[in-house]
Amino acid sequence: MNARINSAGIGRPQSLDPAELAEIHSVDAVAPLQKSRPLLSEEEEAISLPAMELPVDPLQLALKQFLGPALTSDNPVWKGDPVPSMRGLQRMMVEHSLGLAEGPARTPMMAALRHVEMAVQMRLRWLQMKRSETESTIVEGEAQDAPEKNR
């Protein structure tokens, strides 16, 4: 199930073959390339809307300063397709649990495992939403281009 979602390349910018561009009648059918703010060039920054104002909690700020961006907002777990590495973490947890005595000794690890499983389930739902979004746009575009076919 995971492999199928990976191969769809969700979360990565879509590369377009120039030959295919000729076939596209409306420009807005092309999905815009999403970039996070630090990656924008100066011109792009100048024409962008101001950054969304989120309330900044001093605790969140202290956390991020201590951990650094690589572990927090740049962490692959919050970008792209993190499911394989989460499955890897689960495998490590299960292997560790099997080394412990049966019963209460395994309880904390099982609780942790459940949280990772929940995270995996939520990512899979989110990937499905992204997938449906791209697929449904294509269908809409086709319907607009060829309305006479439907009649």
Partner 1 sequence: MRPKRTADGMQPELLTALGLVWGHLNAYQYEAAFELSAGCLQLWPEHEKLRLMHDLAAAEVLEPVDHQRLRAMRRTDNAAWVDLVLRRAQYQLHNRVQGELTGEPQ
Sites of contact with partner 1 (CB under 8 A): 59-60, 62-63, 65-67, 70-72, 75-78, 82, 85-86, 88-89, 92-93, 96, 108-109, 111-116, 119
- Nearest to partner 1 of 27, 56 (CB atom): 56
C-beta atoms surrounding 120 within 10 Å: 18
> Please, what is the minimum distance in Å from the beta carbon of residue 111 to partner 1?
4
Compute the distance between CA of residue 4 and CA of residue 1 in angstroms, rounded to an integer.
Answer: 5
> Please, what is the minimum distance in Å from the beta carbon of residue 58 to partner 1?
9
- Nearest to partner 1 of 29, 93 (CB atom): 93
Compute the distance between CA of residue 96 and CA of residue 84 in angstroms, rounded to an integer.
Answer: 18
Spatial CB neighbours of 27, under 8 Å, sequence gap ≥ 6: none
> Please, what is the minimum distance in Å from the beta carbon of residue 121 to partner 1?
13
Inter-helix orientation angle 83-99/107-145, to 10°: 160
> Please, what is the minimum distance in Å from the beta carbon of residue 108 to partner 1?
5
Spatial CB neighbours of 124, under 8 Å, sequence gap ≥ 6: 1, 5, 83
- Nearest to partner 1 of 71, 138 (CB atom): 71
> Please, what is the minimum distance in Å from the beta carbon of residue 61 to partner 1?
10
- On the CB side of 98, CA atoms within 13 Å amount to 6
- Nearest to partner 1 of 30, 89 (CB atom): 89
Compute the distance between CA of residue 19 and CA of residue 11 in angstroms, rounded to an integer.
Answer: 23
- Nearest to partner 1 of 9, 68 (CB atom): 68
